[in-house]
Amino acid sequence: MKTVVTGGAGFLGSNLCAALIARGDDVLCIDDFSTGNVRNIVGLKHHQRFAVMRHDITVPFTLPDVDQVYHFACPASPIQYQRNPVKTIKTNVYGSIHVLEAALDHAARILQASTSEVYGDPDVHPQPESYWGNVNPVGPRSCYDEGKRCAETLFFDYHRQHGVEVKVARIFNTYGPGMNRDDGRVVSNFIVQALRGDPLTVYGDGRQTRSFCYVDDLIDGMVRFMNASASVQGPLNFGNPAETTMLELAETVRNLTGARSEIAFRPLPADDPKRRRPDVRRARVDLEWSPKTDLAAGLEKTIAYFDALM
């Protein structure tokens, strides 16, 4: 199988590249290294079935022969995607069009890494795929949320209009080895802060929830989805339904690291979703997929990864 992974030097993309190489694919990683890291793919760099193309997908490009495209290129951490919001929208809209055109040229199947953010600050719990969401179109998160919603539309329109085989995965908060120390998302922040003995920065009152999925479970879901029947298009939710507050997460990280860090409360960012939890029944039925790693087990592996980096 000839496979392209856009965003292949990022957190999820690099874990995906490693899994695809391990199952025997030829993998081309396309990345502009804006939030990705060469360190993430250093172990693959000299593999004969692995290649890297440094490219910004907002600029048109052509691809060599390809069977499957995993489209992961886009900053995912709020502080990263808000740094240059216009670029974030361009990446999601122009970038997705360019990747879809490349898939169309080669009659390749293409999977979109969409997000739970398409549900915005949801008022339905847990969130099923049939829920249309509660998204602010003009707030600081909109460049990402609306960009990803537009990308989903493009995927389904390329399918309806041009017959492209598409798959849309709505990924809920995923964590694990491969995240950057300065990524800015909560799991990496808390672990790095705990390992340094710094205060853990809890935004707002810490009672907002997220449901955290370990990266290996997520990657297993992506590969199953890509290789399932063409009729399984999604959108499909992928995540771990175990819901936790940020205060509980901080406490768990403190316990697992043995840190004596204090909690430092910081202002809640605008439009921060209050609750988030995936309904993953569809992925269970369509793909026989469900997450296997509980939070403590996943955090232990992630702590070991960051410990080795520091």
Active site residues: 144
29 binds ligand NAD (CB under 6 A): no
- Give the C-alpha separation, 5 to 17, whole Å: 7
Rounded to an integer, what distance in angstroms lies between the CA atom of residue 237 and that of residue 239?
7
Interface segment toward ligand NAD; rule CB under 6 A; list 69-77, 199-207, 272-280, 302-310 = 69-77
Q: Which stretch binds ligand NAD (CB under 6 A): 53-61, 192-200, 248-256, 301-309?
A: 53-61
Q: Of the candidates 7, 78, 122, 291, which one interacts with ligand NAD according to CB under 6 A? A: 7
Q: Does 71 bind ligand UDP (CB under 6 A)?
A: no
Q: What separation in angstroms does the CA of 53 have from each of 9, 69, 169, 247?
A: 10, 14, 24, 41
State which residue, 13 or 206, has the beta carbon closest to ligand NAD.
13
R_g of the chain, CA atoms, integer Å:
18
Q: How far is the CB of 180 from ligand UDP (least distance, A)?
A: 13
Rounded to whole angstroms, the maximal C-alpha distance in the chain is 57
Residue 68 interacts with, from ligand UDP, ligand NAD, none (CB under 5-8 Å by kind):
none
Cβ contacts of residue 107 below 8 Å, gap of 6+?
A: none
For residue 269, state whether it binds ligand UDP (rule: CB under 6 A). yes
Which of 84, 136 has the CB closer to ligand NAD?
84
Q: How many residues does the chain have?
A: 310
Q: Should residue 56 be labelled a site residue for ligand NAD when binding is judged by CB under 6 A? A: yes
CB burial of 59-80 (b: ≥16 within 10 Å; e: otherwise) equals eeeebeebbbbbbbbbbbbbeb
How far is residue 96's CA from residue 105's CA, in Å, rounded to a whole number?
Answer: 14
Chain position carrying tokens 């808390």: 190
What are the beta bridge partners of residue 109?
68
What are 6's strand-pairing partners? Answer: 30, 71
DSSP 135: -
Among ligand UDP, ligand NAD, none, residue 272 binds (CB under 5-8 Å by kind): ligand UDP
> Which does residue 78 touch among ligand NAD, ligand UDP, none (CB within 5 to 8 A, set by kind)?
ligand UDP
Looking at beta carbons only, is 167 or 276 nearer to ligand UDP? 276
Label the pairing between strands 209-211 and 243-245. antiparallel
Residue 151: in which H helix or E strand, if any? helix 142-162
Question: Residues 77 to 96: which contact ligand NAD by CB under 6 A?
Answer: 80, 91, 95
The verdict on 145 binding ligand NAD (CB under 6 A) reads no
Our CB check for ligand UDP shows the closer of 96 and 211 to be 211
Chain contacts with ligand UDP (rule: CB under 6 A): 77-78, 173, 185-186, 189, 201-203, 208, 210, 246, 269, 272
Chain contacts with ligand NAD (rule: CB under 6 A): 7, 9-13, 31-36, 56-58, 72-76, 80, 91, 95, 113, 115, 171, 173-174
